[in-house]
Amino acid sequence: MRSGEKDLRAGLKTLELDLQDSQIQQLLDYLELIAKWTKVYNLTAVRDPAEMMTHHLLDSLAAIAPLRRHLQQAGLVQGSSLLDVGSGAGLPGVVIAICCPMVAVTCVDTVAKKAAFIKQAALALKLPNLTGLHARVESIGQPFDVICSRAFASLLDFTQWSAAALAPHGVWMAMKGKHPAEELAALPASVEVFHVEQLQVPGLDAERCMLWLRAKT
């Protein structure tokens, strides 16, 4: 068994997430790729393998079940598009691309080396549904079914900056730590929060929640 595989499988069991063996291997390959690139390009501040497993991988995997539920309810199981804003090392975008092969994932970042890493990850992990984009999110006009972020910016900035990329039926999926009451209060009337759920990340003793938002019509 590979390094980290036991912890990953235990975490998936806790999250009640059913993945194929090939997907589990891709996730482990992805962690190794982050570790390798971080030595040279400083992709992430977290460098300890055990911490990378909980803070990066399992933290992102906690979003998969809620995302799958949304896609099912929205009738988007057969194919949808997702934009991961301020993706950095591809968290959670690359994890979503691995776990949800029917979702076309675009990871956008203003830092060129981070976008280059996503492109490399798509090749190395053989993920035809993954694209890395070096751009400002405000410049994207192509419509996406889901726009997600993980600890990226305030909800106000996140929704305003990416509004042009939201499909008419699209939703925002924001991963946060503690419930962001102040950020919610700052949202304009044109943005509606329609669901908030607590996330339990295996091995991580910290609050996590996911907020679902949409533009009011």
Span 155-169, average pLDDT: 97
Over residues 195-214, mean pLDDT: 94
Average pLDDT, stretch 182-201? 96
Is the model's pLDDT at 47 over the cut of 70? no
Q: Which residue has the higher pLDDT, 121 or 48?
A: 121
pLDDT for the residue numbered 152: 85
Domains of the chain, residue spans: 5-215
| Beta-strand relationship, 103-109 and 80-85 | parallel
CATH for 5-215 is 3.40.50.150
Beta strands at 103-109 and 130-134: parallel, antiparallel or unpaired: parallel
CA distance 153 to 186: 13
Amino acid code (one letter) for 98: I
Question: Which H or E element spans position 214?
Answer: strand 209-215
What's the pLDDT at 27?
97
DSSP 86-131: T-TTTTTHHHHHHH-TTEEEEEEESSHHHHHHHHHHHHHTT-TTEE
The rounded mean pLDDT for the chain is 94
